[in-house]
Structure 1
């Protein structure tokens, strides 16, 4: 079974005959059986060459690159191997049609709101004072269907997220300083952790899109633009509460990650290597977990759920089945 490989050490990743070989700065070598590699996460400073990228393209392996501070820098996205001109035409039509685009965007925001509420209700049932934000977010969610355009819908989504983030100190047991969401750069440990976790969800979504006929540049909630795969942002909205936020809550509440795992420099906060490794290990374990799918009646991994979300979008775009965003039932 294929899996993700996370490389934290500095060194050289290269092709060796018909497989991959990583050599660290001390000269230690480790083979990566190419038949087992789904995607590579370059968390350290790695050297590559064109021979490697040709091989990765042949093997259909994307590479996600993170900088020294652990922030996502970009992805090597091999040439699509499941091209469909027919689907591409219809995907573009669903973006250019205001009504069609808004329909999908509403489903994404509604599913994201549902999953956010599931998190809040989970902790409310465990003694946290969360009923007021739950009521507020449910009210905002009820207004999703009334929105007439995507910018207004994004406003609703932003308000939901803001009220949700305001409740993080109530959910997290550690003594933390967190009053608002800041991104560029994150200014405290919670913002740093959210940014890192969200980038992991984004890249997981991008990897799954690659294995479908969808074009990652054409999105519906987020505006397509230069230098980003905006469809990954759309899918990430649905899954961030489940894959990122739940893991943040668990790790902080169990003291698996603490203030000692962060560095603050010039109003910029980021995870140390140890903290990143701990989170990545937990993230990979979580997405490898399986659950019995309500519709398929069989066990599938959390990661596979993201792929299925792509297939649901394909069916909607082709007019085969109306799209409904993924809503957690556990």
Structure 2
């Protein structure tokens, strides 16, 4: 299993990163903020006005250190990518499968089923921990019906339609999962998020999408050619496909934990003139620290039957997907939580 490396999150504005021998140095003006051995770093994420030396960019690309750039508000901008890894035959098989409707829907069905099952598990977990709740029970029953239906989807479009219906059912009761914190959720709003809960969800989804991109590239797959999400210039379709397995089980549960444990509060958000809502700098730092801690936590992988850090789950699933496309396994096994 791949080793879990550290992630650097650079949030201080006007910071500058450069390479010094085999270390990564972070400076702000004349002040040195930190210096870290590059061998211990798996990814660097920069928010806002953060500069990186061209030599460090090249070094990160060469060594496979992920380097991503976001706006100060958490919207993804770009990432530095080095040479494509893996066997070209794997990517050619990936492209052929994407162009084959039967192959594509066989994978799309499984990814949608995993998303629905994991969403239902979040609701059932709440019912186990906090007692009867009719709206949650009814939603869990509807998701069970959706789960049975998606097995019979004959096209990717049909699977996507079922995924949309299931997501509407799930988010219709999402507010029931938020307990006595002043937060309220009236529905999923993406571009831009106009309330604190949606701002948190969008931010965490964006972070995990980049984890999925790195994982797919690491096993030799092209993150821009997917099976569930259609090809679109600039959209990492396969990374978004993989993200579906982690939305409820990782991102949503993490956001609910931050809110329900009052690690993030309403005072930690700023509303822009445009109506968009974003985290304050201090709150974003606190979220990233918690996110990194969460990545280190280990869970039992239901298929591999071994303890895996949550941060390596995208790598595990990317590896399973690559094995399936190569023909090493008959089926792709999506990630499911109990």
**TM-score tier after normalising by the smaller chain length:** over 0.9
Residue equivalent to 1:90: 93
Q: CA RMSD in A?
A: 1.6
For the Cα contact (< 8 Å) 1:61–1:78, is it kept in 2? Answer: no
Once residues 106 and 227 of structure 1 are traced to their aligned partners in structure 2, the CA distance between those partners, rounded to angstroms, is: 24
C-alpha distance 295-193 of structure 1, shift in aligned 2 (>3 A): closer
With structure 2 as the length reference, what TM-score do the two structures score?
A: 0.92
Instruction: Report the Cα distance in structure 1 between the residues aligned to 2:72 and 2:312, rounded to whole angstroms.
Output: 30
1:227 matched to 2:234? The reply is yes
Distance 1:181 1:277 in 2: 24
Q: 1:99 to 1:55 in 2, by over 3 A?
A: same
Alignment match, 1:113: 116
Q: Which residue of 2 aligns with 1:207?
A: 214
- Are residue 172 (structure 1) and residue 172 (structure 2) matched? no
Q: CA deviation at 1:83?
A: 2.6
Equivalent residue of 1:327, what SS?
Answer: coil
User: Contact conserved, 1:62 with 1:78, CA < 8 A, in 2?
Assistant: no
**Residue matched to 2:25:** 21
- 2:140 paired residue number: 134
Quick check: 2:113–2:150 contact (8 Å CA) kept in 1? yes
**After superposition, where does 1:178-327 map in structure 2 within 5 Å?**
178-265=185-272, 266-321=274-329, 322-327=331-336
Unaligned stretches of 5+ residues in structure 2: none
Contact 1:243 1:286 in 2 (8 A): no
**CA deviation after TM superposition for structure 1 residue 270, in Å:** 0.9
- 8 A contact 1:243–1:287 mirrored in 2: no
- Does the aligned pair in 2 maintain the 1:39–1:207 contact within 8 Å? no
Contact kept? 2:5, 2:41, Cα under 8 Å = yes
Q: Which moved more, 1:291-300 or 1:141-150?
A: 291-300
Which residue, out of 49, 56, 65, partners 2:69?
65
**Pair 139,296 (structure 1): closer, same or farther in 2 beyond 3 Å:** closer
Cα distance in 2 between the residues matched to 1:170 and 1:4: 33
Cα distance in 1 between the residues matched to 2:218 and 2:198:
31
Q: Is the 8 A contact 2:86 2:218 kept in 1?
A: no
Q: Deviation of residue 324 (structure 1)?
A: 1.8
CA pair 26-228 structure 1, distance change in 2 beyond 3 A: farther
Q: Secondary structure at the match of 1:178?
A: coil
Q: SS state of the match for residue 256, structure 1?
A: coil
- Match in the other structure for 1:158: 164
Post-superposition Cα deviations, 1:74-93, rounded to whole Å, max 9, x if no partner, equal 2222222x231111111111
Once the 2 structures are TM-superposed, how far is the Cα of residue 3 of structure 1 from its aligned partner?
A: 1.3
Matched, 1:103 2:106: yes
